[in-house]
Amino acid sequence: MRWGLAAAIVWVSVGAAPGQAMAALTGCDAFIEKLRAGASDMQVAFTHSLVVSHSKTDANVFDITTNAEVDATLTCRGDEFSRFEARVVEPASARVTTSFERFEAASLRAALGWDAGHSRGVLKGMNADAREFLAASKERGDVYVAGKTEEHLPGSVSLGLIFTETDRAFIIVGPGS
């Protein structure tokens, strides 16, 4: 699962063109508070990750767990939102898939302040594309079978969605990543 998600960093890190208006990406403290409230039925819990590295980093990394089999990671620099990644293991039951889709929407509302309709609309299109691309990848017999899609927002904020046969990941990347 990790090798597919690591590859996502490369393609989803490319943001909007310089000179575009900044997306209204919330700070990490506000994101944590809003995600807890927006997905309160999933009992969202944040814990600090232990990061082992050869180089010094100013990043705060949080492991996020839920009671819905959806896990996530949040990376912040101070209060600046850097990166969010939600994951679920495939094959997933209908209940887990629904929970993942609700968690995606809650994370968009928390990070960007979007309303429920806008969040669901963007995610509906991204999920449909990723499903279609995964089916095409299987049909072609690709070496790396995956369905990947991305959206670039003003201010170098990017959204990515990756479906594989073993996992599904939704990623929000901020401009400071």
Sheet containing strand 71-77, edge to edge, reads: 45-48, 59-65, 71-77, 80-89, 167-173, 157-164, 146-153
* pTM for the model: 0.83
Q: Is the per-residue pLDDT at 46 higher than 50? A: yes
| CB atoms inside a 10 Å sphere around CB 93 | 9
Residue 147 amino acid letter: G
- pLDDT tens, position by position, 49-82: 766 666 667 788 999 999 999 999 999 999 999 9
| Residue among 64, 67, 68 at smallest CA distance from 86 | 64
For the record, the structure tokens of 17 come out as 């063109």
What is the length of the chain? Answer: 177
- pLDDT tens, position by position, 74-93: 999 999 999 999 999 999 99
Q: Which residues pair with 74 in a beta bridge?
A: 62, 84
Residue 118 amino acid letter: H
Gyration radius of the chain's alpha carbons = 16
Q: Which residues pair with 150 in a beta bridge?
A: 160
Question: How far apart, in whole angstroms, are the C-alpha atoms of residue 145 and residue 7?
Answer: 13
For the record, the structure tokens of 112 come out as 């960007």
| Residue among 89, 57, 58, 64 at smallest CA distance from 169 | 89
- pLDDT tens, position by position, 23-43: 578 999 999 999 999 999 999
